[in-house]
């Protein structure tokens, strides 16, 4: 893997760094898991509908179309899918995150390595900001199993748009790896399926306080020495516009059409 959550050499150390960060989001830690989930839901960006539409292009959409949101978290991607009128199944292992999945979706406990769905039961599998958590070989086998023939797999990551100068300063100050300048075209898994990649710029309505909350709740920040943490959050406060503003993101999006399920 050589995306922002991995690297070509010394991959183990890099992946571990990110794993620590992500686990602080999803495990109880020093704050109750329910409040972590609520903070996550409030402070993190959603996904642009255009990116989701592009992923679903190979699928003929109808009211019978059923999409799996895998590693659904609090269901931000599910919400976008529901808005497009498709049936959504959200699979998420963490109970507190799963509790916030919107009522219109069917929320199931499960993992990417053991998807609790029958063979050939969905038209597309979408993964928002979670693929790097999965065992890719096992997850791909499960995706192939649950997809109907010709179904689509879509992987999405929101990354800071650090082409914008103050955002570049923000990511430099916070050492955030989820930034556009760290993206490359290397496949997020090995071998098949062949994917195509597109970037979808979008914006999130933001306030200075919410941005501080977002940065403060990342485990990279949580794990900092208290003084360094305070310095960082002061810097974020200084960099962010004083009035309500729009935070620029890019949704780094991958789409693959699987040739045939291997049952």
- Give the nearest distance from C-beta 91 to ligand SAM in angstroms: 6
Of the CA atoms within 13 Å of residue 102, those in its CB half-sphere come to 15
Q: In this complex, which beta carbon is closest to ligand SAM, that of residue 94 or of residue 162? A: 94
Query: Number of residues in contact with ligand SAM, rule: CB under 6 A?
Result: 21
Residue with tokens 């100068």, as numbered in its chain: 165
Q: Is 71 in the site for ligand SAM (CB under 6 A)?
A: yes
CA distance 158 to 160: 7
Q: Is 218 in the site for ligand SAM (CB under 6 A)?
A: no
Judged by CB under 6 A, which of 73, 151, 154, 188 binds ligand SAM? 73
Contact set for ligand SAM, span 22-61 (CB under 6 A): 22, 26, 44
What's 7-56 look like in SS3? CCCCHHHHHHHHHHHHHHHHCCCCCCHHHHHHHHHHHCCCCCHHHHHHHH
- Give the nearest distance from C-beta 245 to ligand SAM in angstroms: 22
Selection from 126, 114, 206, 124 nearest residue 166 by Cα = 206
Q: Is 252 in the site for ligand SAM (CB under 6 A)?
A: no
Q: Other CB atoms closer than 10 Å to residue 92's CB: what's the count?
A: 26
Q: In this complex, which beta carbon is closest to ligand SAM, that of residue 113 or of residue 169? A: 113
- Give the nearest distance from C-beta 128 to ligand SAM in angstroms: 3
- Assess whether the previous peptide bond of 29 is cis (omega < 30° from 0): no
Contact set for ligand SAM, span 77-136 (CB under 6 A): 77, 92-94, 97, 111-113, 128-130, 133-134
Contact between 146 and 234 under an 8 Å Cβ cutoff? The reply is no
Stretch that binds ligand SAM, among 68-76, 99-107, 222-230, 248-256 (CB under 6 A): 68-76
Angle between helices 226-239 and 165-174 (to 10 degrees): 170
Stretch that binds ligand SAM, among 70-78, 79-87, 184-192, 215-223 (CB under 6 A): 70-78
Q: Order the strands of the 87-91 sheet from edge to edge.
A: 106-108, 87-91, 66-70, 122-128, 147-160, 245-257, 195-206
- Give the nearest distance from C-beta 238 to ligand SAM in angstroms: 27
List interacting residues with ligand SAM (CB under 6 A): 22, 26, 44, 71-74, 76-77, 92-94, 97, 111-113, 128-130, 133-134
């Amino acid at each position: 893997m050589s995306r922002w959550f991995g690297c070509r050499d010394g991959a183990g150390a890099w992946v571990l760094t990110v794993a620590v960060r992500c686990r602080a989001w999803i495990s109880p830690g020093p704050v109750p898991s329910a409040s972590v989930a609520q903070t996550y839901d409030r402070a993190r960006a959603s996904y642009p509908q255009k990116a989701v539409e592009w992923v679903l292009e190979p699928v003929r959409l109808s009211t019978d179309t059923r999409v799996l949101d895998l590693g659904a978290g609090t269901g931000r991607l599910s919400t976008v899918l529901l808005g497009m009128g498709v049936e959504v199944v959200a699979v998420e292992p963490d109970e507190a995150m799963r509790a916030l999945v919107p009522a219109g979706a069917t929320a199931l406990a499960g993992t990417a390595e053991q998807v609790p769905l029958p063979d050939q039961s969905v038209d597309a599998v979408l993964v928002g900001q979670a693929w790097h958590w999965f065992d890719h070989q096992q997850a791909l086998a499960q995706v192939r199993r649950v997809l109907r023939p010709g179904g689509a797999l879509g992987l999405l990551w929101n990354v800071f748009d650090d082409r914008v100068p103050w955002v570049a300063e923000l990511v430099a100050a916070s050492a955030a790896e989820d930034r556009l300048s760290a993206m490359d075209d290397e496949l997020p898994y090995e071998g098949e399926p062949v994917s195509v990649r597109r970037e979808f710029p979008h914006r999130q309505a933001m306030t200075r306080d919410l941005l501080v909350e977002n940065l403060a709740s990342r485990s990279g920040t949580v794990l900092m020495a208290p003084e360094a943490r305070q310095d960082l959050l002061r810097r974020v406060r200084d960099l962010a516009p004083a009035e309500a503003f729009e935070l620029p993101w890019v949704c780094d999006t991958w789409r693959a059409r699987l040739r045939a399920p291997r049952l």
